Amino acid sequence: MTTTTTRPRGFSARGTRVEAAPPAPGLYVVATPIGNLGDVSLRALATLAAADAILAEDTRVTRKLLDRYDISAPLVAYHEHNAAEVRPRVLAGLAAGQALALVSDAGTPLVSDPGYKLVVEAAAAGIAVFTLPGPCAAIAALTTAALPTDRFFFEGFLPAKAAARRERIAALRAIPATLVVYEAPSRLAESLADLAAGLGPRPAAVARELTKLHEETRRATLVELAQHYGAAGAPKGEIVVVVGPPQAAGRPEASALDAMILDALAGLSVKDAAAVVAAKAGLPRREVYARALKLGGSRK
């Protein structure tokens, strides 16, 4: 990997220029924002600024992040179409003592993004691999879905073809964990319909445009979400679907349902509490709303 040695190796943030110390040789896997450029870490900026080069999935996308923070490190394209050809040069540079940063267009490299083979081969060659953790759409969606986070399964993208997608969904049915699925807006409605048909009326959430201007998380059962997006058409932006785990005992006991409602009413209006509990318990929203009204009195 050819690099220049005389360029400035600093970054600017909030009007302050920060000089970055040269990093130790090795491969730096750097997470970058999934929308809001303010979500990049200070350590990520310092590493990108001081690296001998940055391997980027799309150099134009990464250039925007670098420009925002006045970083002038050289960019090298590293994506699924050229990785096999570029990787030997990257590994040779690392073996010669370079510090190279790997980024994807958004979020964490290797998570539905390039980088896996590079990390495998760098590790096998005895090269130090460092992580700079940060944004990841799957984790971000889990934090807004209002679904269990104690155990989750990352599916990535479901197959685009209907038959393969349905087969894959059938394989997901017994997994006792919340499921996290990346989806393209154009396929959202059909995927939700297949998820509803394959998994039943589980509570779910569609998290869209996280960290961006039109961020939205819509929570309901899979059946309701499939109906909504079937009627509304393809939404704009980027999407993560989160699906609650299978209910071991089917419908919750009346007392357990009341406890869930009371818990939700402690922080939410009757309407919102009913929506959240209905999604969680896989019950019709109207039924939960009626019960929440009784338990919560006249609060709206």
> Closest CB to ligand SAM among 135 and 201?
135
CB 139 → ligand SAM: shortest distance, Å? 8
Can you give the binding site for ligand SAM, defined by CB under 6 A? 34-35, 104, 106-108, 111-113, 136-138, 182-184, 207-212, 238-240
> Closest CB to ligand SAM among 207 and 274?
207
> Closest CB to ligand SAM among 40 and 278?
40
Cβ atoms 118, 45 nearer than 8 A: no
**In the sheet where 75-77 sits, what is the strand order?**
75-77, 53-56, 99-103, 26-30, 129-132
Q: Is 111 exposed, middle or buried (0-12, 13-18, 19+ CB in 10 A)?
A: middle
CB-based closest residue to ligand SAM: 107
CB 185 → ligand SAM: shortest distance, Å? 9
Q: CA-CA-CA-CA torsion for 142, 254, 227, 207, nearest 10 degrees?
A: -10
> Closest CB to ligand SAM among 50 and 138?
138
The rounded distance, in Å, linking the Cα atoms of 204 and 152 is: 13
> Closest CB to ligand SAM among 239 and 279?
239
CB 44 → ligand SAM: shortest distance, Å? 13
CB 135 → ligand SAM: shortest distance, Å? 7
CB 21 → ligand SAM: shortest distance, Å? 27
CB 184 → ligand SAM: shortest distance, Å? 6
Cβ atoms 53, 76 nearer than 8 A: yes
> Closest CB to ligand SAM among 52 and 238?
238
Strand partners, 206: 218, 241
Helix orientation angle between 270-281 and 285-296, rounded to the nearest 10 degrees: 130
> Closest CB to ligand SAM among 65 and 261?
65
Phi, psi (rounded to 5 degrees) for 255: -70, -35
CB 293 → ligand SAM: shortest distance, Å? 34
One-letter amino acid of 124: A
